[in-house]
A and B are shown apart, each in its own frame.
Chain A
């Protein structure tokens, strides 16, 4: 158990798993439209664009 008063570092923006949402979306588009394998990251694997 990590008590609430010891989560200062965990709450730092550098520790955010998603980071910048717009940048993450652009990078995701880079990978998913050029590789056969997607998914596992709480987002659909395929669909939503003309590249399968």
Chain B
């Protein structure tokens, strides 16, 4: 459940699309056929405190209160017998996404300062398109494009993917390369516009999927990401020892490595168990380990998912909660970059209702999650969906 779309694309998509089912492409596939459609609405409710937030005492942590409403939709279509096209559109309505630095030191709830153009609510939108082309019975090629836009930022992403199966689809090797460019407004702590900033994110991935037994699959992955440019979001602040706030200063390059592994086990009572682990390290000094477990159980047309996640990370080398005012050194008070542990519990229900006489199914899903971080942050996540598939 928690495996990313990317891992699925890099690893098992090929196998599940054809190899696992042992299906051959249809002899006379229609020129265009919608395979599935889905709509989902997700609500995040976050509360907590962080030293990077100016919405609080000058020297103390400020509010990280935010809510996000996120409607999403997705269409997957077959184009001929070799191509699958997926298009997904999402919108975010975010409160407190653009903090007003004129407010620091003022009581929480002080009205927004119009000079800084800060917003109580930001809207963001994104569109993702993935094309998978079956080059041969053992090789798939993929192309990804996305565009993301929100009030202070635009982002473009492109990706290429190839996977190849071996040993009658028992093993699938995959590789992918992504390039993302972000372009955004830069504001100083007085809320004044300081032109445009940019960052580049280049990412390469390698993955392997192996069928171990008729009930067991293992997956492994490695990803390397290099980021350059303005890597702060420009509105984070740091408390200074003279009871003021200064700007966050971070390196203009970041190299990130991540290794992940998963085992998927079918359970003989119509269930499935997924166990995953991940190790992460980057050039800013942060290391992290993450563990993830999900158990699924089918009861008639109802599928029940219960999951748990544990994440522990060290702080980046230049994290602190107060800095000297007289030196402009590398410094951040961003609570996301602090040493922390995070724990999450999740649950999901999905009802699959057959319709018609050709195997079509309409599904209704409800998912919830409670996420807690040890450095004073928690998020409640509620999501519902309706989907149709052929």
A positions within 8 Å CB-CB of B: 1-31, 33-52
Contact = CB atoms under 8 A, between A and B. Distances in A.
Given A30-B379, A40-B222, A16 B213 contact: no
A37 B286 contact: yes
Interface in B75-121: 86, 88, 90, 97
Question: SS class of chain A's interface: helix, strand, loop or mixed?
Answer: loop
Contact of B3 (A5, A18, A26): A18
Interface of B: 1-13, 16, 19-22, 38, 40, 42, 44, 70, 72, 74, 86, 88, 90, 97, 124, 146, 148, 150, 152-153, 155, 157, 167-170, 174, 176, 178, 180, 182, 184, 199-201, 203, 205, 207, 209, 211-215, 217, 219, 221-225, 227, 231-233, 254, 256-260, 262, 264, 266, 271-272, 274, 278-280, 282, 284, 286-288, 290, 296, 298, 303, 311, 313, 316, 336-337, 340, 342, 346, 348, 365, 367, 369, 371, 373, 377, 379, 381, 383, 385, 387
A24 B22 contact: no
B155 A47 contact: yes
A49 B264 contact: no
A22 B38 contact: yes
Contacts of A43: 4-7, 178, 203, 205, 223
Q: Please list the 4 inter-chain residue pairs (A to B) with the smallest Cβ-Cβ separation, ordered nearest first.
A: A18-B8, A40-B258, A47-B201, A43-B6
Nearest to B44: A30
Given A3-B168, A23-B367, A45-B225, A18 B150 contact: no
A4 B22 contact: yes
Contact of A41 (B90, B223, B371, B383): B223
B385 A39 contact: no
B155 A28 contact: no
B180 A1 contact: no
Given A34-B336, A42-B174, A2 B2 contact: no
Given A6-B214, A21-B8, A42-B10, A35 B288 contact: yes
Given A24-B5, A28-B4, A49-B155, 11 more contacts: A3-B168, A4-B22, A15-B272, A17-B262, A19-B1, A21-B86, A22-B90, A26-B40, A39-B258, A47-B201, A50-B97
Contacts of A12: 266, 272
B44 A36 contact: no
Given A12-B272, A20-B1, A4 B169 contact: yes
